[in-house]
Each structure stands twice: as structure tokens, then as C-alpha cells.
Structure 1
């Protein structure tokens, strides 16, 4: 089998954060040596995977 480089597709979006939250996030990024984008993605993925379903609500689609 030949080696193929897989490329994940990304989409740009704009979000607004409070100054206090952004300062906290940037401090974590500095400590962990990761980008703000990577931290944001990890936080959202975690929140979605741990989110409790409301009774009667349709199940959330799985993350790919």
C-alpha cells in the first residue's frame, strides 16, 4: 500500500470571547505550549462529549 498524507478539512468561523475568558485561555496556552485554536477545539470537543442529553431531545450526532 502506498503512503498517503491525509489532510483534515477546516472551516473558518468568528467567535467573541470576554476579555477575562480570553486571558485565562491564553494563560493555559502559554503553560501548555499550544495554540489558542487547539485549546478552543479541545474544550469544545470535551464539552460536546460530556454534554448531558435532555429528556425527549434527539441524540447529538457523534464527533468524527
Structure 2
């Protein structure tokens, strides 16, 4: 499986507003990665979700 890579982009993301709840540990890690990489929190979460869905093992 290919490793996850954070990608910087100035392209706008078309989005749907939805409230989600994150564990404090996940929020802290994502916030830290967002600051370190210069990628917005929202973009980073979207990249993580896309990666997980592309690499999902289905029965």
C-alpha cells in the first residue's frame, strides 16, 4: 500500500457542511500536521478520508 502524503494545493474544494466529532488525540495530531505542512485543517482531513476510502479493504 502506498504511504499517505500530504499535498499542498491552492485549488478550492467543493464541499458540503457536516459536523463531525473527533477524539482529542486525532484533533491534536491533525492540527499539528496541518500547521507543520501549511495545509489547512479541512484540506488535510479531506485528504485523509480520500486516502482511507481508496485503500479500504472490502469483503
**Short-chain TM bin:** 0.7 to 0.9
Normalised by the length of structure 1, the TM-score is 0.68
Structure-2 change in CA distance of 1:28 and 1:15 (3 Å): same
Structure 1 position 24 matched with structure 2 position 29: yes
* Rg (Cα) greater in structure: 1
Normalised by the length of structure 2, the TM-score is 0.73
Select the structure with the greater relative contact order (CA < 8 A; seq sep ≥ 6).
2
Match of 1:51 among 36, 45, 56: 56
Residues in 1 aligned to 2:22 and 2:44: alpha-carbon distance in whole angstroms: 13
Structure-2 change in CA distance of 1:9 and 1:24 (3 Å): closer
Which runs of 5 or more structure 2 residues have no equivalent in the other structure? 1-11
Q: Please, what is the CA RMSD of the aligned residues? A: 1.5
- Which ranges of 4 or more aligned residues in structure 1 deviate by more than 4 Å? none
